[in-house]
Structure 1
Amino acid sequence: MQRRSIGALIERWLPGTLSGRMALLVVVGLIAMQLPGFLLFSHQRVQFDQERATRLVIERSLDLLAIAQPGTLEGQDPRLLAARGFALLNAAHNVPNDAALHRELLAAAPAGSQLAQQVLASRIAVYRAPGYLTARLQLPDGQVVTFRQNTRPPGPPPGMAGPAGLRLPWPVLLDFLSRSAVVMILALWAVRWLSRPLTALSAAAERIGRNLQTPPLTEAGPAEVRHAARAFNQMQARLKRVMDEQTRILAAVSHDLKTPLTRLRLRAESVEDETQRDKIVRDLSEMETMLDSTLDFLRGESWREATVPVDINALLAALTDDATATSAGRVTLSGQARLPYPAQPLALKRCVENLLHNGLKYGGGEVEIMVVDSMQRLQIILRDHGPGVPETMHERVFEPFYRLDSSRNRDTGGTGLGLSIARSIARAHGGDVALANGELGLVATLWLPR
């Protein structure tokens, strides 16, 4: 359980894209690779500064002993000593001798000289603190002199000092940053290059969901990518075979069902009672209409249609003219699409036509069509002047064969598939159909992504 929570937390903070995760991995790798070098550089820098400070302590100690010959500072001007950074301790101190430092001090003095004799009779000790050393030198006469020596070197030349606290000069930092930038650019380019087949596979999967007739993927690139593309193309081919088989079965079913209906229609003509004959013919026509609509819905042959640029303005103008010419009702059109829309023309026409006929049939015979086109989506809004649909039914009316009670009559009642087909076509294009009650009647909005 704890592992899952940790994994979920890590996943939450990771970038969402493959390129982002690879960039993060490269940054972490660069830091992990450079951090030991920085730590080693810093350690060596500190050690070098300590050694340098020790050499300066030895040089200043020899300078002090040279001033103190023959072994005392009596008669020396205190201001001269203070100017050189030396200070006499007021009270008597017994300086513990640092043997290693004392040997270095003796080795720095000329062998056999009076200065070397002074060193032999002296004692020296060093106390370390962050950023400086405090040295105490006890002269042969017992006097103790103290002075401070910075462990950090004087500031680098102008423009060479790095950020405060890093103790790294700008050339080192710029070298690291330039190397990191080059590696990052190459890594991001490599990630994009390697993930391009995945992007193409994702786009192809989205296209196949809209239209099975999309061209197959190119089987190129590394072996893994070729295998994935080949498997994807095989899946597409299997889906096409299934859809073809379904279409053939439905065509056979349609033929088998329509044959007895045709025989019944012919036999109905022999019925002498005109009233009964008309009722039988009307029932047969309703059964035939329902059968055709059901088969069309189940067949869904829009998957066979190729996607081409469709002139939305011309399509809506033609539907408006057809409705006016057939006296189906009054249709007004406003707004224009900026550009043609890539779609399956017959399927898109059927989608809009179903929405328009639904509005004319149940919306008082008057429909207003408005086109709203933007960079993100294309919207075709149809407003009718009917009684509308209860809000609780806005989704149910899209269910196949569902009809409101008020529409279940021979004059206006359809098969309950018009809105289902319209939404199915819209979703196949990546959009949708939504209903809402307006001020005058029902508002049906078809939106399609740009």
Structure 2
Amino acid sequence: MTDIPDLRPPSGGHLALAGWIVLIVLGSTGIALFAASKITKPLELLENATSNVGPDGLLAHIPETGAGEIRATAKALNDLSVRLKFAMESRMRLVAAAGHDLRTPMTRMRLRAEFVEDEEERTKWLADLEELDVIADSAIELVREEIGGETLSPVELGHLIHEVAEELHEVGLKVEMPPAVSLTVAAKPLALKRALRNLVTNAATHGGGATMEIRQQGNNAILVILDQGPGIPEELIHQVFEPFFRVDMARRRTLPGAGLGLAIAREIIERFDGTITIANRQPNGLAQTVMLPLVESTHGVFSLT
């Protein structure tokens, strides 16, 4: 009689099997997570770099440390930032040079225009040259602000807008000053003042007068500039920040400016992490809304955020 071997698992064997399975699963999970982190780390680096793009459109410097693929990704992003900075500076130098070089031929043309016998024709020539002069001045001024050495500092928005209102009132524009409100933002004072002056001038010139409102909304300062003008057709309102945009080209001869005021204002405000929107009012007029982050204050000491 042959004995049949007992092939059943030993007592408690199922617990050992379960333990091995758990150990294998945990080990496989750990290896998979480690491999996934190695794969996604450069992607996270890209995401962080793009989310930290500064108001000037440049990437912040990324430390070239860590694993080989991390160093390679960081180096590629840093090289891209250097090339972007060089390209932007070249563009600004080109704009400044073009604006400056226009001055000499415009001066010659102005001298020749003075000798045009027909008074009406002479007036047209001088008006065109004046418009070119304004465009050149705007381009050069924008470049100066882009590359200027002025640093961010706390700016009392209510006080600044009162200065703008007083200056425009002195030159005959109808501007209604807002109630005094103490809200401090982080900006370059001269640049922000120019942006606000452009917006208020736009309302006072095209809208028959400007009325302003200042208030706090959460952690932001809100400035609303209202006018009673004809507004902008809805199909064109998305173009208002484009350089040289005019709703009615026929008004170009009767109203001052080169069509760069709103474009420059948005450029400046967005550089300070702010936003600007323009919308039609009912029954008529425009509302220009500027939002700028407030400066944090602790016991009277300001810190820029």
Structure 1-normalised TM-score? 0.49
The reply on whether 1:320 has 2:165 as its aligned counterpart is yes
Partner of 2:257: 414
Distance 1:216 1:306, change over 3 A: farther
Distance 1:253 1:409, change over 3 A: closer
Distance 1:340 1:292, change over 3 A: closer
* Letter of the 2:74 counterpart: A
2-side partners of 1:220 and 1:307: how far apart? 31
1-side partners of 2:228 and 2:138: how far apart? 26
Match of 2:248 among 380, 401, 405: 405
Of structures 1 and 2, the one with the larger relative CO (CA 8 A, separation 6+) is 2
2-side partners of 1:244 and 1:406: how far apart? 32
Q: Deviations over 1:193-246 (max 9, x none)?
A: x97x98787555445441267863444455544443333222222122112222
**Is this contact kept in 1: 2:162–2:177, CA < 8 A?**
no
Distance 1:42 1:243, change over 3 A: closer
2-side partners of 1:243 and 1:249: how far apart? 10
Match of 2:87 among 242, 264, 267: 242
* Letter of the 1:339 counterpart: T
* Letter of the 1:445 counterpart: T
Map residues 84-163 of structure 1 onto 2, 5 A cutoff: none
The reply on whether 1:424 has 2:267 as its aligned counterpart is yes
Considering only CA atoms, is the larger Rg found in Structure 1 or Structure 2? 1
Q: Deviations over 1:123-152 (max 9, x none)?
A: xxxxxxxxxxxxxxxxxxxxxxxxxxxxxx
1-side partners of 2:66 and 2:234: how far apart? 52
* Letter of the 2:251 counterpart: R
Partner of 1:280: 125
1-side partners of 2:159 and 2:43: how far apart? 38
The reply on whether 1:262 has 2:107 as its aligned counterpart is yes
**Is this contact kept in 2: 1:336–1:371, CA < 8 A?**
yes
Partner of 2:10: none
Task: Describe the SS at the equivalent of 2:240.
Answer: helix
Distance 1:203 1:426, change over 3 A: farther
Match of 1:359 among 196, 203, 219: 203
2-side partners of 1:348 and 1:40: how far apart? 75
**Is this contact kept in 1: 2:214–2:222, CA < 8 A?**
yes
**Is this contact kept in 1: 2:226–2:288, CA < 8 A?**
yes
**Is this contact kept in 2: 1:302–1:344, CA < 8 A?**
no
Partner of 1:94: none
Distance 1:313 1:216, change over 3 A: farther
Q: How far is the alpha carbon of 1:431 from its aligned partner? A: 3.9
2-side partners of 1:305 and 1:283: how far apart? 34
Moved more, 262-271 or 223-232: 223-232
Q: Deviations over 1:14-48 (max 9, x none)?
A: xxxxxxxxxxxxxxxxxxxxxxxxx944999xxxx
Task: Describe the SS at the equivalent of 1:443.
Answer: strand
Q: How far is the alpha carbon of 1:318 from its aligned partner? A: 1.9
Q: How far is the alpha carbon of 1:424 from its aligned partner? A: 3.4
1-side partners of 2:128 and 2:107: how far apart? 13
Q: What percentage of residue pairs aligned between the two structures are identical?
A: 34
Q: How far is the alpha carbon of 1:376 from its aligned partner? A: 4.3
2-side partners of 1:320 and 1:203: how far apart? 41
Partner of 2:213: 370
**Is this contact kept in 1: 2:100–2:136, CA < 8 A?**
no
Distance 1:426 1:386, change over 3 A: same
Q: How far is the alpha carbon of 1:349 from its aligned partner? A: 2.8
* Letter of the 1:258 counterpart: R
Partner of 2:185: 340
2-side partners of 1:331 and 1:40: how far apart? 86
Task: Describe the SS at the equivalent of 2:244.
Answer: coil
Task: Describe the SS at the equivalent of 2:84.
Answer: helix
Q: How far is the alpha carbon of 1:274 from its aligned partner? A: 5.1
The reply on whether 1:330 has 2:165 as its aligned counterpart is no
2-side partners of 1:277 and 1:350: how far apart? 33
Partner of 2:23: none
Runs of 4+ in structure 1 deviating by more than 6 angstroms, as ranges, are 197-201
Partner of 2:239: 396
Task: Describe the SS at the equivalent of 1:371.
Answer: strand
**Is this contact kept in 2: 1:369–1:380, CA < 8 A?**
yes
Q: How far is the alpha carbon of 1:428 from its aligned partner? A: 4.0
Distance 1:287 1:406, change over 3 A: closer
Distance 1:278 1:407, change over 3 A: closer
* Letter of the 1:393 counterpart: L
CA RMSD of aligned residues (A): 3.9
The answer for unaligned runs of 5 or more in structure 2 is 1-12, 19-25, 27-32, 295-305
* Letter of the 1:448 counterpart: L
The answer for unaligned runs of 5 or more in structure 1 is 1-38, 45-179, 181-186
